[in-house]
Structure formats: structure tokens, C-alpha cells
Homo-oligomer: A and B are copies of this chain.
Amino acid sequence: MSNQEEAIKQWLKDNRARGTRFLQILVQENSIRGNESSAQAVIIEKCRQLGLNLDIWEIDRDEIKNHEAFCCDRDSFEGNPNVVAVLKGAGGGKSIILNGHIDVVPVGDEKNWTHDPFSGQIECGKLYGRGSTDMKGGTAALIMAIESLIATGTKLKGDVIFQSVIEEESGGAGTLAAVLRGYHADGAIIPEPTGMKIFPKQQGSMWFRVRVKGRAAHGGTRYEGVSAIEKAVVVIQKLQQLEKNRNIKITDPLFNNIPIPIPINIGKINGGEWPSSVPDLVVIEGRMGVSPEETITAAQAEMAAVLNELNVQDKWFQANPLEIEWFGGRWLPGNLEVDHPLMKILSNSFEKVKGEAPVIEASPWGTDGGILSNIGNTPVVVFGPGITAAAHDADEHIILEDLFAASKIIALTILKWCEVCD
């Protein structure tokens, strides 16, 4: 290990309390959608202290709303800025984007929490609170990595572009706005809660809604009607078959340990108005997983084609065709070669810090990495200290040891990727 590396690791070891305190303050600022500004203020102040070049702007909806990857039902971004902070390199090295989202999901039923969701309370080496794992912990790891480079006087050739974006949990308008503002790089790390696994590929996803029609009748003469519930069962079975067919085709070894690489989840069903009437409408809503090897459009077309088979084969659906709607959330898949140089350097850094090889897998969910790679043409790896299962849950928390390890691994990766000036 080089002296530079040793110095960085030592600084990070000596400044654990500093990193912990920073995450605590960040968690204490509730940054639910539409309320991101105070947490962003903590980020901005930190970046200012570090001497980074700050770019703070409110997204102009009108400017990006017609982009194909725009997927957002928020009227206004006023008062809640995106933040990009650049550590300018000397030139001649590769640049890197370090992307974290500042928005957190709602607390849910507060009765299920044993810790105050915005306390940042620490217990047995874990820091608790909404966003601690998803993904303010990851953001804190990025900031600590950058600070360690500055504090140890490291001069880099390539640019380090830190991003604290809004809207990840609702479709990625924050990262899209950053891409469209011109931020690209030779590589990117997104420290989403991977539980210290490395995800070069990410499952994309989108929401669908299918309307299944029936014909009403009195329940006592139900044979005079057509039950939308019975017809919905046919649709559900068709979608189950589609899921099966799609997953058989997934042979990428990164999915080896994942029972259903790209699930079709039927999340909601609602139909009928009266126990003794034949229901004339059922609405099904769900989430379709998208393989890293395919496009959103191709996956949508595949589901539409399968439903269209029913519209052709089934006499009832011939006259009352199924209608599919793609609504709400949409997350582009991500797909980086396992032997990409960024993967190699990150894996190498992981081994240096942890003394063992990392687990490399495909992620079961999409991240802003889909936008960064597909729209921004920036190779993306997702790797972070948060706990996958703790995200969005009550008593969300992060293991502080993982946060410290991740900040070291990321700092060493930046060092190799951007290169140190001679």
C-alpha cells in the first residue's frame, strides 16, 4: 500500500467521530419529498467548508419535462435545490461522479419504530433513523472519502463530481436534471444500500395498471353476467407465465443467487362494489422488473403483446379488450461489464480494506444509475454501506463500521481512478 493510501486510511480512522456526527446531523433533517432543502443546506455548508466548486440550482420542470426519461408527478421543485460540488483535478486523469440522493421515503406507521425516526440515535454501533441506510449513510461515506483526500493533501488528475440530488425515490428527476445540466464522467459510484455488495448491474422497473372488464348481473343469476374477478384471474395467470418465461432467459451468473431476477409483482387488486352483484371491473396494479440487458420499451412491449394474445384468443376480451397503462414510477436498468476498469479498481480497493473479495451481484431494484448510464453515458457501479433490508422499513439503521469501511474503499478507488498528480 502506498504512503498516500496509508495516510488516507489513517485520516479516516482518526475522524470516525467526525463522520458519525455528520451523518447524525443529516438524518436529523427530515428530507421527505418536497422538504429536501434543510438537509441540502447541511450538504452545501460541508462542501463549502471543503472548498469544492458548488453548483446549486432548482430544477426547471418545463426544461426537462419532455425528456423521454422524465417520470415525475411533482409540480414544482422550488426551494429544494439539486447540489453538485466539484473537486477539480489537475487534468489528464479520469473523472468520477459520486452520486447520492437526499430524499427519504415517509416514516410509515410511527408506532412500528422503537427509535425516533429523526433522532440519529446510536446504539450498539448502529445509527438509527429514516434515511440512515437509504442513503444518507452512503452520502456521508462519499463526503468522508472526499474530505480524506483533501485533508491528506492529495492532488488528483481527474475531477471528482459529488452530487446530492432530489427525487430518486420518485423516478429520478434530480439525477436526470444533473445529466441534462451537463454532468458526465468516465465513471460513477452510487452508494445505495447494497450491504457492501458490489452491483455492476441493476434491475430496472416500472409500474403498470391493467383494467379488466366484466358485465354486471345479480349474484343469484350470475350466469347472466361475466365476472371481472374470474377474468382477472386469467390475466394474473398470464402475467405469472410471462414472468416465468422472462426469467428463464436470464443466464447472467450475477443473478445466480436471485430466485426471480426480474419479478412481475402484482401489488394491488380492486374490483366489484357489492357482494351479491357480478363485478364489472377489476383493476390490477403492479411492478414489472426490467433486465439490465433490455430496454424499458422492450419490456413494456413484451407485456403488451402477452395481454394482446388474450385480446385475440379470449372471446370476452375480443369484445372487451384489456387496457394496460404505464403510470407512476419508472427506473431504468443499469448494466456495466463485470471486468470494467472501475469494477476492477473498486474490487481491488475492497480487498485492500476488508481483506477479502467482494460479493458481486445484480441488484433487485433500480437506482439513479439507470439514468446516469443510459442517459448520461457514464459507467455506473452501485456500492454502499447501507443495509438492503432496512431501507424503507421501520427502525431503519446503518452499521457504522460499514460506513467507515465504505468511505475507505471509495477513497482508495478515487485515488486509483482519478490518479494522483506526479
A270 nearest in chain B by CB position = B270
Other CB < 8 Å A-B pairs besides A220-B287, A270-B270, 8 of them? A207-B276, A220-B263, A220-B265, A220-B365, A223-B259, A230-B236, A233-B236, A276-B287
Report whether B287 and A219 are in contact in the complex, using a CB–CB cutoff of 8 Å: yes
A249 interface residue, CB < 8 Å from B? no
Report whether A364 and B218 are in contact in the complex, using a CB–CB cutoff of 8 Å: yes
Interface residues as binary, A195-228 with B (CB distance below 8 Å gives 1, 0 otherwise): 0000000010101110000000011111100010
A272 interface residue, CB < 8 Å from B? yes
| CA of A261 to CA of B285, assembled, Å | 34
A282 interface residue, CB < 8 Å from B? yes
**Using Cβ atoms and an 8 Å threshold, which residues of chain B touch A207?**
275-276
A90 interface residue, CB < 8 Å from B? no
**Using Cβ atoms and an 8 Å threshold, which residues of chain B touch A271?**
268-270
**Using Cβ atoms and an 8 Å threshold, which residues of chain B touch A269?**
229, 232, 269-272, 279, 282
Report whether A274 and B267 are in contact in the complex, using a CB–CB cutoff of 8 Å: yes
CB of A119 to closest CB in B, whole Å: 25
| CA of A221 to CA of B391, assembled, Å | 13
User: Which of A207, A285, A287, A365 has the most chain B CB atoms closer than 10 A to its own CB?
Assistant: A287
A299 interface residue, CB < 8 Å from B? no
| CA of A286 to CA of B269, assembled, Å | 16
CB of A102 to closest CB in B, whole Å: 21
User: Which of A221, A265, A270 has the most chain B CB atoms closer than 10 A to its own CB?
Assistant: A265
Q: Which A positions have Cβ atoms within 8 angstroms of B?
A: 203, 205, 207-209, 218-223, 227, 229-230, 232-233, 236-237, 240, 259-260, 263, 265-279, 282, 285-287, 289, 328-329, 364-366, 392
| Contacts A218-B364, A220-B203, A263-B222 given; does A273 touch B282 at CB 8 Å | no
**Using Cβ atoms and an 8 Å threshold, which residues of chain B touch A236?**
229-230, 233
| Smallest CB-CB A-B distances: 10 pairs | A219-B265, A276-B287, A268-B272, A220-B364, A220-B365, A219-B287, A223-B259, A267-B275, A275-B285, A207-B275
| CA of A227 to CA of B263, assembled, Å | 12
Report whether B205 and A276 are in contact in the complex, using a CB–CB cutoff of 8 Å: yes
**Using Cβ atoms and an 8 Å threshold, which residues of chain B touch A219?**
205, 263, 265, 267, 286-287, 289
A279 nearest in chain B by CB position = B267
| CA of A203 to CA of B275, assembled, Å | 16
| CA of A122 to CA of B10, assembled, Å | 96
**Using Cβ atoms and an 8 Å threshold, which residues of chain B touch A218?**
364-365, 392
CB of A12 to closest CB in B, whole Å: 32
User: Which of A218, A219, A232, A263 has the most chain B CB atoms closer than 10 A to its own CB?
Assistant: A219
**Using Cβ atoms and an 8 Å threshold, which residues of chain B touch A205?**
219-220, 276
| CA of A273 to CA of B269, assembled, Å | 9
Report whether A275 and B287 are in contact in the complex, using a CB–CB cutoff of 8 Å: yes
| CA of A387 to CA of B272, assembled, Å | 25
| CA of A207 to CA of B392, assembled, Å | 38
**Using Cβ atoms and an 8 Å threshold, which residues of chain B touch A222?**
260, 263, 265
**Which of B230, B286, B364, B392 contacts A275, CB < 8 Å?**
B286
**Using Cβ atoms and an 8 Å threshold, which residues of chain B touch A230?**
236, 240, 266
**Using Cβ atoms and an 8 Å threshold, which residues of chain B touch A268?**
271-275, 279
CB of A327 to closest CB in B, whole Å: 8
Report whether B276 and A223 are in contact in the complex, using a CB–CB cutoff of 8 Å: no
CB of A15 to closest CB in B, whole Å: 34
**Which of B232, B275, B285, B287 contacts A265, CB < 8 Å?**
B275
A265 nearest in chain B by CB position = B219
Report whether B263 and A272 are in contact in the complex, using a CB–CB cutoff of 8 Å: no
**Using Cβ atoms and an 8 Å threshold, which residues of chain B touch A277?**
265, 267
**Using Cβ atoms and an 8 Å threshold, which residues of chain B touch A208?**
275
A364 nearest in chain B by CB position = B220
Report whether B259 and A289 are in contact in the complex, using a CB–CB cutoff of 8 Å: no
| CA of A286 to CA of B227, assembled, Å | 12
A228 nearest in chain B by CB position = B269
**Using Cβ atoms and an 8 Å threshold, which residues of chain B touch A223?**
259-260, 263
